[in-house]
Amino acid sequence: MVAALALAALAGLLLIHPGGGDAVPAVVANATLTPGSLNPDVTQETIGSTICVRGWTKTVRPPVSYTTPLKLEQMKAYGEAGLPADYQEDHLISLELGGNPTDPGNLWPEPYPRAAEVDKIENDLNDQPPPVASTFEEIPQRRIRHGRRRRWPLVLLGILAVLVIMGAVATVWVRHQINPGQAGAQVQLTIPQGTSTSNIAALLERDAVISNATVFKVYLRVKNVGTIQAGDYTLRRHQPYAQIVAVLHKGPAVTVDRITIPEGFTFEQIAERVGRLPGRSAQRFTELAASGQVRSQLEPPGSNNLEGLLYPDTYFVTAKDDEGAILKRMVTAFEQQAVALGIDDAAARLKLTPYQVVIVASMVEREAKVDGDRGKIASVIYNRLGRHMKLGIDATLLYALHGDTAELAKHPNQDNPYNTRVIDGLPPTPIASPGRPSLQAAMNPDQTDYLYYVLADKDGHHAFTASAQEFDKLVADARKKGLL
């Protein structure tokens, strides 16, 4: 009976919260068990009316109230040895060591156990621990690890929270890579032929167009960007990915150079202007023109002189346009303009060759300063030719002298095939490239009887006359005005 009492009391006292912490009262058939202070390696739980102590169970009969803590060794001893013969398991027990029972209604048979009897039981058990009794059975480990099971959801929740935070931070970072904000300074990027996507991303990162080559490569895969053409691209530092892909998808920027040939330029001046283009040579341009590789349909037979046969205009050339290509474009443009204006019909009407009409047009181009004078100057040329008069146009000799006005003033009547003061008729070639207005004037001159003209004002207007005496007066007036 004492053994049963001790077993029941110890079992009740060992009911603590698994894994440590404050003791939690457990209910056994409407009776409260308060474990109290126990050995720290004792674990316990209450299952119905079963008391569990460190992996072992013992079924007790309710209603029983245990309020006294016992040592683990005592619990084992009572459970293993069984109850003393003078005590019965079915007695209703209420025991508090060191005092009287707290519930007289649940008494065991008189007399109450005294401290001496309890001491005797403890001493006997301590001297000879009995063998293990079969009334205890092992509880599966999973049934006693409620503390760990309750901690796992918290651990998983913590891991999930960390992953969510990391994912949010990564998302913000990637978005900043894709759209970094306002783009910076321009960057000229050259992608060599055969460059891989990885190397292109590395080039962009090197020039600070992007900040992370790996993110950009993944972006290209996601956007399914195909092959990127080799060539020169203009991008910006820290440029948004969408804009970069748009530029790369469009292809390399074609470098275009512009060359403007003014009306009245000579071939020498045009060659010099072509030589200013990157990678072009004025000498090469001149050699090609003189070689006869590029010819104009307006050239007379046996001539390789393209003077006056290059159309003055603005041309856009690419890196693929060499000197020969540029020369061909200018010659072709002149032919198209002359043919469109009806040069063949005009030449037949004027009893000249198309080439001679171009010569007249070139003289008109160099002499006229305003469009209103072009038709009149052309009429003077044709009128003088019709009367077999020397043209006396100083612009032709000045062309031959490469613009040396001092030489012209010193020797105005020098022997020179381009000196129309001396020779009869037209000079051997055009003296400049005439524009469309001068070509029109040469093909359709004004109908006048003028034989002379002289500069009349600082705006470039000329005074015209058919009288030599009137002409002398006009010359005197021009000199007074400082125009000559």
Asked if the model's pLDDT at residue 27 lies above 60, the reply is: no
138 and 64 in a common domain: yes
The backbone torsions φ and ψ at residue 301, rounded to the nearest 5 degrees and listed phi first, read -55, 140
Residue pointed to by tokens 């209910």: 27
Instruction: Pick the last residue of a domain from 250, 267, 295.
Output: 250
Residue 165 is assigned to a structural domain of this protein? no
308 and 381 in a common domain: no
Cβ atoms of 82 and 71 within 8 Å: the answer is no
Tokens of 156: 């998983």
CB atoms within 10 A of CB 164: 10
Quick one: pLDDT band at residue 127, thresholds 50, 70, 90?
Answer: low
Cβ atoms of 291 and 348 within 8 Å: the answer is no
Reported pTM: 0.56
13 and 135 in a common domain: yes
Q: Give me the pLDDT at residue 229, please.
A: 82
Any bridge partners for residue 409, and if so which? none
Asked if the model's pLDDT at residue 95 lies above 60, the reply is: no
Per-residue pLDDT averaged across 455-482, rounded?
96
Number of independent structural domains in the chain: 4
Q: Give me the pLDDT at residue 149, please.
A: 62
pLDDT (tens digit per residue) in 365-399 = 999 999 999 999 999 999 999 999 999 999 999 99
Asked if the model's pLDDT at residue 115 lies above 50, the reply is: no
9 and 129 in a common domain: yes
Per-residue pLDDT averaged across 124-153, rounded?
51
Residue 329, CB-side half-sphere exposure with 13 Å CA sphere = 18
Q: Give me the pLDDT at residue 409, please.
A: 93
Question: In 443-481, which positions are buried (b, 16+ CB within 10 angstroms) versus exposed (e)?
Answer: bebbeeebbbbbbbeeeeebbbbeeeeebeebbeebeee
Closest CA to 60 of 154, 135, 125, 157: 135
Closest CA to 245 of 212, 209, 269, 272: 209
User: CA-CA distance, 43 to 17, in Å (whole number)?
Assistant: 8
Asked if the model's pLDDT at residue 145 lies above 60, the reply is: no
Per-residue pLDDT averaged across 132-155, rounded?
54
Cβ atoms of 306 and 299 within 8 Å: the answer is yes
299 and 415 in a common domain: no
293 and 399 in a common domain: no
399 and 282 in a common domain: no
CATH number, position 204: 3.30.1490.480
Asked if the model's pLDDT at residue 97 lies above 70, the reply is: no
Peptide bond into 437 cis (omega under 30): no
Cβ atoms of 93 and 64 within 8 Å: the answer is yes
Residue 350, CB-side half-sphere exposure with 13 Å CA sphere = 27
Q: Give me the pLDDT at residue 13, please.
A: 32
Per-residue pLDDT averaged across 350-375, rounded?
97
Q: Give me the pLDDT at residue 146, please.
A: 54
Query: Which range marks the domain in which residue 281 is found?
Result: 256-340
Quick one: pLDDT band at residue 6, thresholds 50, 70, 90?
Answer: very low
Least reliable range by pLDDT among 106-115, 135-144, 446-455, 474-483? 106-115
Residue 82 is assigned to a structural domain of this protein? yes
User: CA-CA distance, 281 to 63, in Å (whole number)?
Assistant: 118
Residue 365, CB-side half-sphere exposure with 13 Å CA sphere = 26
Residue 191 is assigned to a structural domain of this protein? yes
The backbone torsions φ and ψ at residue 259, rounded to the nearest 5 degrees and listed phi first, read -130, 125
Asked if the model's pLDDT at residue 142 lies above 70, the reply is: no
322 and 229 in a common domain: no
User: CA-CA distance, 460 to 367, in Å (whole number)?
Assistant: 10
pLDDT, greater one: 342 or 51: 342
Cα separations in angstroms, 354 against 36, 309, 360 = 129, 11, 10
Residue pointed to by tokens 């008729």: 425
**Treating both helix axes as pointing N-terminal to C-terminal, what angle do 241-250 and 146-178 enclose, rounded to 10 degrees?**
50
Residue 328, CB-side half-sphere exposure with 13 Å CA sphere = 8
190 and 230 in a common domain: yes
Residue 379 is assigned to a structural domain of this protein? yes
Task: Give the CA diameter of the chain.
Answer: 173
Q: Give me the pLDDT at residue 147, please.
A: 55
Which bin fits 20, alpha (ψ -120 to 50), beta or left (φ > 0)?
Answer: left
The backbone torsions φ and ψ at residue 47, rounded to the nearest 5 degrees and listed phi first, read -120, 100
Residue 30 is assigned to a structural domain of this protein? yes
Residue 135 is assigned to a structural domain of this protein? yes
Percent of the chain exceeding pLDDT 70 equals 69
Cβ atoms of 71 and 39 within 8 Å: the answer is yes
pLDDT (tens digit per residue) in 303-344 = 999 999 999 999 999 888 999 999 999 999 999 999 999 999
114 and 55 in a common domain: yes
Asked if the model's pLDDT at residue 113 lies above 60, the reply is: no
Residue 47 is assigned to a structural domain of this protein? yes
Asked if the model's pLDDT at residue 155 lies above 80, the reply is: yes
Q: CA 395, 436, 330: angle at the middle one, nearest 5?
A: 90
Tokens of 393: 């146009």
Closest CA to 262 of 332, 331, 313: 313
335 and 226 in a common domain: no
361 and 328 in a common domain: no
Quick one: pLDDT band at residue 58, thresholds 50, 70, 90?
Answer: very low
Residue 208 is assigned to a structural domain of this protein? yes
pLDDT, greater one: 460 or 146: 460
